Every structure is written in C-alpha cells, then in structure tokens.
C-alpha cells in the first residue's frame, strides 16, 4: 500500500503495537485515524510539521506553568493523532512538570522533545517528498 506515494506494510493492530510503531510516525495508526484517505494523511502530516514547531517554540518561551502545560498538551495531542509515540511520550513528560520541577527539569525535557520532534519531522518530510515525486510522475504519465 502507499502512504503519500510511499510503500508501507499495513496491518490492523493496536496503537503502538503495529509493525510501524517503531518508526517516528506509526503509519498504521495514521491510516486508521484518516480512514485510509491518503490525501488526508498527507494534509495531517503537513499540519503536524508546521504546528509542532510553533508549539515547541511556545514551550521554549513559556514563563508560566499554564503556558508550558498548554503547549506541551498541544504537542502531545497532535503527536498522538498521527502516531508519533516518542513525541507524545516526551510531551507528556513535559506536561507533568510544574513549578520547581519544571525549573529543574525543563532543559532535559526540552532537549529530548526537540530531538524527537526533529526525528518525526524529518521522517514526515521524507514521506511527503516521496508523495511529491510520485504525484509529478503520475501527472507526467
């Protein structure tokens, strides 16, 4: 099967237990969330690319617990929606920090979150660039 023009092996399994759960984005989960609509999959991935960077910056800029928690929660929800489990887990850890624990642990959590968001976004970009190549070769045919 194809995701945005890229071959994938898809099976119906529980979230986090599919063959693609070890990838930065669980493509089986994404397919389930979008009801197999490839165009919607690409659109959702593009949204995650742009929004994850915005919310990561909001997290970095947060000077109050509420702003920190809201940004972490937004990242967590977006990541769960596409099956970016490592991002969701890191965002959940960030969301749990507040007050003195946030002050003490925010740098390590931010570093981890930035790393896993980068991995997910690089993976998404590779999927989407494959979709662009396939779309242009299909129109040229």
CATH code of the domain covering residue 9: 1.20.120.160
In a domain, 25, yes or no: yes
In a domain, 137, yes or no: no
pTM: 0.81
- pLDDT at position 3, please? 60
- DSSP lists the bridge partners of residue 3 as 6
In a domain, 37, yes or no: yes
H helix or E strand, kind and range, residue 7: strand 6-7
In a domain, 13, yes or no: yes
Terminal-to-terminal C-alpha distance of the chain: 20
In a domain, 55, yes or no: yes
Domain, as residue range, for 104: 2-126
In a domain, 135, yes or no: no
In a domain, 21, yes or no: yes
Q: Judge residue 8's burial from the number of C-beta atoms within 10 Å of its C-beta, 0-12 exposed, 13-18 middle, 19 or more buried.
A: middle
* Structural domain count, the chain: 1
Residues of the chain with pLDDT under 70: 1-19, 21, 131-141
Whole-angstrom Cα distance, residue 112 to residue 86? Answer: 10
In a domain, 131, yes or no: no
């Amino acid at each position: 099967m194809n995701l945005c023009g890229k071959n994938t092996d898809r099976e119906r399994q529980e979230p986090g237990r599919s063959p693609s759960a070890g990838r930065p984005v669980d493509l089986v989960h994404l397919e389930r969330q979008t009801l197999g609509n490839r165009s919607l999959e690409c659109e959702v991935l593009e949204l995650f690319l742009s929004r994850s960077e915005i919310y990561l910056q909001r997290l970095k800029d947060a000077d109050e617990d509420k702003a920190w928690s809201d940004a972490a929660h937004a990242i967590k929800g977006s990541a769960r929606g596409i099956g970016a489990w490592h991002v969701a887990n890191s965002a959940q850890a960030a969301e749990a920090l507040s007050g003195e624990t946030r002050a003490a642990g925010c740098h390590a959590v931010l570093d981890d979150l930035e790393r896993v968001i980068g991995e997910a976004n690089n993976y998404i970009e590779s999927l989407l660039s494959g979709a662009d190549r396939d779309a242009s070769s299909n129109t040229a045919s």
